[in-house]
Amino acid sequence: MTRLKVASKSNPNKVAGAIAGVIKDEGKVEIVSIGAGALNQAVKAIAISRGFTAPCGIDLVCKIGFIDLEIDGNEKTGIIIIVDGIK
């Protein structure tokens, strides 16, 4: 599954476009973030992308979980949101 990494400096509108693109091509996408600022951008992007996929008759539903990621040799706990496009 395609994985998009979102940072606190990511632009939610651009991430939303990327989400919508992957959903239209592959039907689902993983969004990964570490920290409150990054998660905030990720969640805003998902909300925005519902507006991008809705005209194609696709709504977005999410499953939320924790994920362990290795960043520069350190293990960090992030949030993974699996976004599914449903018709």
Rounded to a whole number of angstroms, the distance between the first and last alpha carbons of the chain is 19
Q: Is residue 1 a contact residue for its own copies (CB under 8 A)?
A: no
Q: Cβ contacts of residue 67 below 8 Å, gap of 6+?
A: 32, 77, 78, 79, 80
> Which range binds its own copies by CB under 8 A, 18-26, 56-64, 68-76?
56-64
Burial zone of 2 (CB within 10 Å; 0-12 exposed, 13-18 middle, 19+ buried): middle
| Binding status of residue 30 toward its own copies by CB under 8 A | no
Interacting span for its own copies (CB under 8 A) from 14-22, 42-50, 68-76:
42-50
The footprint of its own copies (CB under 8 A) covers 35-37, 39-40, 43-44, 46-47, 50, 59-66, 79, 81
